[in-house]
Every structure is written in C-alpha cells, then in structure tokens.
Amino acid sequence: MHDLKAVSTLFDLRGDFVHGYSYGSGHINDTYCIWVDQAGQRIRYILQRVNHNVFKQPIPLMENVKRVTDHALKRLKEEQCPEAYRRTLTLVPSVDGKPYALDSDGNCWRVYPFIERAYDQIETTRQCQEAARAFGEFQKLTADLPGEPLFETIPNFHNTTSRLAALKEAIQSDPLGRVKEVQKEIDWYLSRESDCHLVVDYLKSGELPLRCTHNDTKLNNVMLDDVTGEGICVIDLDTTMPGSAIYDFGDMIRTATSPAAEDEKDVSKVTMRMFMFEALVQGYLSSAKSFLTPLEKSLLPFSGKLLTMECGIRFLTDYLSGDVYFKIHRPEHNLDRCRTQMALVESIEAQMDEMKAIVDRY
C-alpha cells in the first residue's frame, strides 16, 4: 500500500486528506478512492498510480489524457450540457500545475474528481444500449480532436497477429513449465490462427480506416447515471489512441453479452446472449451509424469473436509467463479467464448467422 496521504499532497486538492482505500476492479492500475476535507465538506476523488510496467511511457500517456479530457470538456460546455464535469473525466492538477505528479520512487500519479451518483455494472438491455451509445459518442468526440494523432501508449495493442506471436514465444520459452498443463487450451487458440489476421490486414491495406478509438471498452469503463441509467461518462482513457472501431465494438460484445463473470470457473454459464448483442448494436449504431463504413458495419458480429479470442490469447500468454501483466487474485486466475473466453468464442461462432442478420436489420 502506498502512502496515500503523502501522495495526495502532490496535488492541488484545496483540503486535508482524511482517508483512502483501494477501489474498483481494474486489472492494470492501482486505483484508490480518497476523501478530502475541503473547508468542512468531505469530497472524494480517484487517485491512481499509472502501471508503468504496462504503460512504459506514462508522461506522453498523461498528455493524451489531458488532450482528450480538455477537448471533451470544451465540447460539453459549447453544447451547454448540464453537469459537464460529470460527463467527462477531468484531471486535478498537481501543485506545480501538471496533469500528473511523480513521486520520489518514479511512480506517476493522477487525480480525477469522483464521478458521483453513477455505477459501472451492466445487467439490463437498456444499460447495454446506453453503454454502447456512450462509447460511440466518445468515438465521435475524439474524431475531431485537434492536433497530431495521439501517442500510441502500447504499440500493437490490438494487433491480434502479434498477440498470437507472443503466445507462441511464451509456449517456446515456458518459464514455469506450465505448457504441459494447458495443451488443450493452447491447441484451441492455435487452431483459430487464420481469424487473427483479418482486421490487421484490412488496416494495413487501408480498407479499414484507422480512427481514434478507446481500445478498452470493457463495460466497467463507462459510468451510467444511477437514476436515469444514461451512459454519462467514459473512463479509463489510457489506451485512447489510433485503432479500429472493430476493436471497440468487439470488446463490448466480449464484456456485455455473457451473464458469467470474466473469471467464472463454471464455463457452462458462459454464453453470448442475443438480446444483449442486439441492445449493443442498437445503442452503438444510434451514435456511430453516421460515420462507420459498410465494411466496418459488416464486421461488427465478427469483432466479438476476434476481441474475445485476442483477450483469451493474452490471458493464456500471461499465465504461461508467470502472471506478470494482469492483476490476479488466485493462482489460476488467468487460466480461468482464458477458459471463459474460449467458451464465449464458441457461443459466438454458433450464433454468427443470427448476429449478422441483426446488424443487417439495424
């Protein structure tokens, strides 16, 4: 545990630190909720340590986040949107006026106002639709971000071909001797190798456009209003950078359509529910229809298979490598995650024709 009180003094919080604790269930950064007393009023903030094992260059990453959040706020204000500061993340500056602060160990920290009266769990079709609409709106917003393209915080993040190559390397080096336990899973992923190239090839040939995308559209990365259910604020902007709309939609299918958790041990509970898929299509197209190309639209059903497979490949690679990337809370956590992704891919494969029919209908 870090000294949260000491870290909080690096930021211009206009108050006294009261207490802080670990918060949320993200797999990457260290996230804390901290309470601050401001002239007698208690306010909470999100304090985060950027994981520099994953994000090798936190400072250009923070410059990305600053550019995107400033642009979002400017737009919301121009549109005279009520509660603008609840509809986008905003960065609380450090005492020396930067959007982040470095501690004496070289950790990069940031503070966001806590988005109040909102939640990040999705259970109903309406919530699903709203989340997808919000991610579509976010893509629209970043499409007219002025200036240079954003810095690529993790090169080849969604390059499924390189993800598969990394899996093969982990199989070769097998540092913990785990390969023999998971041959079935390895064979399963390797048998789907041909699916890994498609989107990468289309991007290379220019048939698919490179856009500014979120790239981590997991459903707990969007906050919904706790009264209206409206998708109000997209969070976790670390991977917002050049990418494909296919990646963003695919990860929504991966995280929203199954009733089972990503780390469910009983994979018979994992299934792609068509009504949730339909809600995603409805919500996403309500904001993205105007800018998606026909090829992008036609790849929406496949995107779910691709991103689920890719994430499974990453979980299996991390398991073989000794769990060095994703946070784990039990010994075979990454292996359980890799197995749920397999079950979900199989469920998507079995329903692909109906998924295509739904996209055509909308």
Question: Binding residues for ligand ADP, per CB under 6 A?
Answer: 23-24, 26-29, 31, 46, 89, 112, 114-115, 120, 220-221, 235-236, 238
Q: How far is the CB of 165 from ligand ADP (least distance, A)?
A: 25
Site stretch for ligand GN1 (CB under 6 A), options 6-14, 25-33, 174-182, 339-347:
25-33
Q: How far is the CB of 50 from Mg ion (least distance, A)?
A: 12
Residue 310 binding target from ligand ADP, ligand GN1, Mg ion, none, CB below 5 to 8 Å by type:
none
Numbers of helices and strands, H then E, in the chain: 12, 10
- CA 232 to chain centroid, in Å, comes to 16
User: How many CB atoms are closer than 10 A to CB 203?
Assistant: 18
Shortest-Cβ-distance residue relative to ligand GN1? 27
User: With binding defined as CB under 6 A, does residue 185 bind ligand GN1?
Assistant: no
Residue 239 binding target from Mg ion, ligand GN1, ligand ADP, none, CB below 5 to 8 Å by type:
ligand GN1
Closest by alpha carbon to 127, among 18, 283, 342, 263?
Answer: 283
CB 246 within 8 A of CB 306: yes
**Closer residue to Mg ion, CB minimum distance, 26 or 283:** 26
**Closer residue to ligand ADP, CB minimum distance, 29 or 64:** 29
Q: How far is the CB of 238 from Mg ion (least distance, A)?
A: 8
The one among 69, 221, 303, 347 contacting ligand GN1 by CB under 6 A = 221
Q: Reduced to 3 states, what is the DSSP secondary structure of residue 54?
A: coil
In terms of C-beta density within 10 A (0-12 exposed, 13-18 middle, 19 or more buried), how is residue 64 classed?
A: buried
Q: How far is the CB of 353 from Mg ion (least distance, A)?
A: 33
Residue 296 binding target from ligand GN1, ligand ADP, Mg ion, none, CB below 5 to 8 Å by type:
none
Site stretch for ligand GN1 (CB under 6 A), options 83-91, 197-205, 231-239, 277-285:
231-239
User: With binding defined as CB under 6 A, does residue 87 bind ligand GN1?
Assistant: no
Say if strands 231-234 and 222-225 run parallel, antiparallel, or are unpaired. Answer: antiparallel
- CA 11 to chain centroid, in Å, comes to 26
**Closer residue to ligand ADP, CB minimum distance, 8 or 271:** 8
SS (H, E, C) 180-222: HHHHHHHHHHHCCHHHHHHHHHHHHHCCCCCEEECCCCCHHHE
Residue 311 binding target from ligand ADP, ligand GN1, Mg ion, none, CB below 5 to 8 Å by type:
ligand GN1
Q: Reduced to 3 states, what is the DSSP secondary structure of residue 107?
A: coil
How far apart are alpha carbons 165 and 219 in whole angstroms? 27
How far apart are alpha carbons 268 and 278 in whole angstroms? 22
Q: How far is the CB of 73 from ligand GN1 (least distance, A)?
A: 22
Closest by alpha carbon to 275, among 122, 123, 125?
Answer: 125
Residues that bind Mg ion (CB under 5 A): 26, 221, 236
Q: Which residues bind ligand GN1 (CB under 6 A)?
A: 26-28, 54, 216, 218, 221, 236, 238-239, 262, 311
